[in-house]
Amino acid sequence: MNPDLSLHETRVIGCLIEKEITTPDQYPLSLNSLTNACNQKSNRHPVLDLGEAEVQAIVDQLIKKRMVSEQSGYGSRVPKFQHLFCNTSFGTLKFSPQELGIVCELFLRGAQTPGELRSRASRLCPFGDVSEVEAALSALASRDDGPYVVRLAREPGRRESRYAHLFSGEVSAGEEIESASGAAASAERHSPASGRVDQLEARVAHLESELADLKKLLHGAVRADGDIESSASG
């Protein structure tokens, strides 16, 4: 199974899986709750800013793909949505709790190391240690109906390799590394220290401009005095 999901589609599915596990009393989700979950700032990468109309359009596409269904009732007149992505009677894709937790976190945060996955997915399923995460990743990578994850080349400075899901097509390790490097460069450009340097450079440029204007005025005043003296002598 390789549905080739977009970033926004994996975000919607990941949020539905997450809330089904962590807040079952509030599941299925209304459009407003699903939008808030998609734009959540914690445990999300990248952070998105989707409007309700955008989320509804994404949900409509997933309904056509039979990965999400709209539910009525549940004591509310507001339409609510639940995923049909896996572990349902409507499809053949089945994951263990550990595999589901890993896939959900990869949908919500992108490529991660086994150590990161153990820390972040522990709220979704139990992991005794990193070896259990690695075993689940190995199973996802070698399933007969998969693979569903791939191990990326280890980046310079990292002790562990990251893993990425394959529900959005093949992953290029080079593109992943380039993306991470670009994010780091962007963070550096927008860091507080960088902002202070930019402010200082702007102030220096402003002072240099004012100094140049003062020199022009002084030069003009000297020439005017010289002309007056010449006229008086004549």
Domains of the chain: 7-171 (1.10.10.10)
How far from chain centre, in Å, is Cα 96?
25
What phi, psi does 67 have (nearest 5°)? -110, -10
Closest to 116 (Cα-Cα) out of 142, 134, 138, 99: 134
| 3-state helix vs strand vs coil in the chain, percent to 5 | 55, 10, 30
* Most confidently predicted of 3-17, 65-79, 179-193: 3-17
Residues 146/86, Cβ–Cβ less than 8 Å: no
The model's pLDDT over 143-193, given as tens digits with 9 standing for 90+, comes to 999 999 999 999 898 889 999 999 999 876 554 544 444 444 434 444 444
pTM for this structure?
0.73
Q: What is the mean pLDDT of residues 71-83?
A: 81
How far from chain centre, in Å, is Cα 115?
19
pLDDT at 190: 41
Tokens of 173: 């390790």
Measured distance CA(21)–CA(201) in Å, rounded? 51
The label of the residue with tokens 């039979």 reads: 66
Tokens of 89: 């009677």
Residues 100/108, Cβ–Cβ less than 8 Å: no
Measured distance CA(23)–CA(210) in Å, rounded? 61
CB atoms within 10 A of CB 170: 9
